[in-house]
A and B are shown apart, each in its own frame.
Chain A
Amino acid sequence: MLWSGKKGEGAGDMVMVIWLFLLLVLVAGGIALGMRVFFGSGYDIREVEAHALGERIAICVADQGVNWEKKSLYESCELSASVLEDVGEIQLGILICEDNCVTGKRLFQLGSNFEACDFTGKNEQYARCSRGLAWHEEKRYEIIASSNQEARGVSR
Chain B
Amino acid sequence: MNLRGAGDVLSGNILYVILVVIFTIGVFMIIMQNKNNAGQWEEFYAKELALLLDRAKPGDQYTIDIQKASELAVKNGVSDPRYIIKFDGQARKVVVSLKPDGGTAFYYFSNVVVTDVKIDGLGTSGNKLSFKVVAPEAAGGKT
Known: A24-B19, A45-B51, A53-B109. A31 touches B27 (CB 8 A): yes
Using a CB-CB cutoff of 8 Å, which residues 58-98 of chain A contact chain B?
A: 74-75, 78-84, 87-88, 92
Residues of the B chain whose Cβ atoms lie less than 8 Å from the Cβ of A28: 23, 26-27
By beta carbon, the residue of chain B nearest A32 is B30
**Cβ-defined partner of B23 (8 Å) among A24, A83, A92:** A24
Cα of A153 to Cα of B40 in the assembled complex, Å:
11
A7 within 8 Å of B (CB atoms): no
Nearest CB to that of B23 among chain A residues? A24
CA distance A21 to B8 in the complex (A): 18
Selected interface stretch from A9-17, A101-109, A121-129, A130-138: A9-17
Asked if B138 is an interface residue, CB under 8 A from chain A, the answer is no
The stretch from B59-67, B68-76, B95-103, B120-128 touching chain A is B95-103
Chain A 26-56 interface mask (CB, 8 Å, partner B; 1/0)? 0110011001000110110100110011001
Cα A32 to Cα B101 in complex, Å, equals 22
| Pairwise interchain contact B143-A154, C-beta atoms closer than 8 A | no
CA distance A156 to B92 in the complex (A): 18
Please state if A88 and B109 are interface contacts (CB–CB under 8 Å): yes
Q: Say yes or no for B87: interface residue by CB 8 A criterion.
A: no
- Number of interface residues, chain A, beta carbon within 8 A: 47
**Number of A-B residue pairs having CB atoms within 8 Å of each other in the complex:** 125
B5's contact among A10, A48, A88, by CB below 8 Å, is which? A10
Which A residue's beta carbon lies closest to that of B9?
A13
A35 touches B51 (CB 8 A): no
- Taking Cβ atoms with an 8 Å cutoff, the residues of A that contact B are 1-5, 9-10, 13, 16-17, 20-21, 24, 27-28, 31-32, 35, 39-40, 42-43, 45, 48-49, 52-53, 56, 74-75, 78-84, 87-88, 92, 149, 151-156
A-B contact list, 15 entries, CB within 8 Å? A3-B8, A40-B40, A42-B43, A49-B50, A49-B51, A56-B55, A74-B143, A78-B112, A79-B110, A80-B143, A81-B111, A83-B108, A153-B103, A154-B104, A156-B103
19 additional A-B pairs beyond A17-B15, A151-B43, beta carbons within 8 Å, are A2-B12, A5-B5, A31-B27, A39-B37, A40-B40, A43-B44, A52-B54, A53-B54, A78-B110, A78-B111, A79-B109, A81-B111, A83-B109, A92-B109, A151-B105, A152-B105, A154-B97, A154-B103, A156-B103
The chain B residues found within 8 Å of chain A, CB to CB, are 4-5, 7-9, 11-12, 15-16, 19-20, 23, 26-27, 30, 34, 37, 40, 42-44, 46-48, 50-51, 54-55, 57, 91-93, 95, 97, 100-112, 143
